[in-house]
Amino acid sequence: MTKLTPFTMPKWGIEMAEGTIADWMVAENAPFERGTVLTLVETDKITNEIEAEKDGRFVRILAEAGQTYPVGALLAVLSDGGEASAADIDAVIAAFRPSESGFGPEGEDAPPHKPTPEPAAAAAVSAPPVPEGLSISPAALAEAQRLGVDLGTVSGSGRGGRIFAQDVHQAARPAVNPQLVGVFAATPDSAVLSTPVARRLGALHGLDLATVKGTGARGKVRRDDVLAIVQQSAPVEVPAPAAAATPATAPASSPRPSGDNVDVLPMSSMRRTIARRLTEAKQQIPHFYVRRRVRADRLLALRASLGPDRPSVNDFIVRAAALALMEVPAVNVQVHGNEIHRFGAADIAVAVATEKGLVTPIVFAADDMTVAEIGATMKSLAQRARSGKLKPEEFTGGSFSLSNLGGFGVEQFDAIINPPQGAILAVGTARPEPIDDDGAIRIVPVLHLSLSCDHRAIDGADGGRFMAALANLIENPHLL
């Protein structure tokens, strides 16, 4: 007998609440072997490959590529390799109940995978006939007969419009007219399954939401659905022709409608997390900045003497920052509420730009590593960060951060602290500038450094001492 099991959204790390199905790597009912990559799941930081633990096949895939689902949500039904009847598959889906820990923050775009509350028991009613050829699960059919729901009016949320029990429960609910808070009063659109923002936009533009095809779960009308119709129906202003227009007075061209050549892209799970964390950081952390110019000619000369496989300038700065943190441990901290956690090792998170956003893999115990070891470690971390294959423990934590935009020609900038860390170092490009060299004026490459500090845990004197120690190490690179 074929064994069927639910295939659910995994949980990687205690902070993961949801994941996005980046792509399915196997097709429905296509057999696969152990070790085959089944799907790519994108979280707030990485894209992980889920491999098959044993031979099998997906007898039904429920989750759509590009959609976000909470941890524990049912993504597909997995068999041990054999085929299964539709009734058996429907039974597994109907019996599935995700754990409470699998649900992230609820919002407008939260996937509808919470178990639907059972409606109150109703008196026996005569059920309307079932339309011929209707795709419906056994559980949904039983609920429709119990509640007397006309299945011809139910919109299925499953693959190919298949009707599930939750669709029947939704159709059985009495129509409600929630009162909107704000400048717009409730309208007939309130009865349409839609988000509050969509209803407000519909009222603003005089749009009947019943005519809008919703792209959300169970046909829910969302903000973008309304905006798409509003933009399509926006009038194009065409100037009236002049009676005797001359080349000097004729308009050069007709005005273009608003919104032309604008791509509206939804934020990825990673980008939403970056936005949330950095907004919280700027709102909750009292930043102050310590800036310093540091001569880099000696460090560049030392690096040039090391041959073609030499470490990068950034590897030297990571090493210098690690040693400076050991000299000034007051900067090597995390802030947790009313507690300051001071670290005995320099675990430095280094910002790496990827196509999907900023990732900060960590060089652990960088103070105990040589520059060459730091370089090899960073090369491996950066490659896996850009391919989305970092493990959660490789980018979670850290006692200090470093962001270097010198490779983009940026001369100087201030970075936002990555909580719960207490500080971050921003590094610009080295550019020729005049300096005082034992009473002589010389023009040498100079780095502009900026240290962002959390004033709740780090004082200005601590930041100054750290920058002094860092400058001494960079200007005397033999100490590295």
Cβ contact 73:98 at 8 Å: yes
Which is it for strands 287-295 and 423-427: parallel, antiparallel or unpaired? unpaired
The strand pairing partners of 287, in sequence order, are 454
Burial of 378-395, coded b for 16+ CB within 10 Å and e otherwise, reads beebbebbeebebebebb
Catalytically active residues, by annotation: 455
DSSP single-letter state for residue 359: E
The Cα–Cα gap between 447 and 294 comes to 5
Report whether 286 contacts 419 (CB < 8 A): no
- Looking at the chain, the number of H-run helices and the number of E-run strands are 10, 18
What does DSSP say about strands 37-42 and 18-24: parallel, antiparallel, or unpaired? Answer: antiparallel
- Please state, in angstroms and rounded to a whole number, the distance separating the CA atoms of residues 269 and 437: 50
CA distance 472 to 477: 8
**Residue 27 and residue 113 in contact, taking contact as beta carbons nearer than 8 Å:** no
CB-based contacts of 49: which residues, under 8 Å, 6+ apart?
Answer: 37, 39, 40, 389
Place of tokens 């490779």: 407
CA separation for the pair 18, 68 (Å, rounded): 7
Residues 6+ positions from 108 with CB-CB distance below 8 Å = 195, 196, 197, 222, 223
User: What three-state secondary structure class fits 391?
Assistant: coil
What are the structure tokens assigned to 415, written together? 């970075």
- Distance, in Å, from the CA atom of 212 to the CA atom of 194, rounded to the nearest integer, reads 10
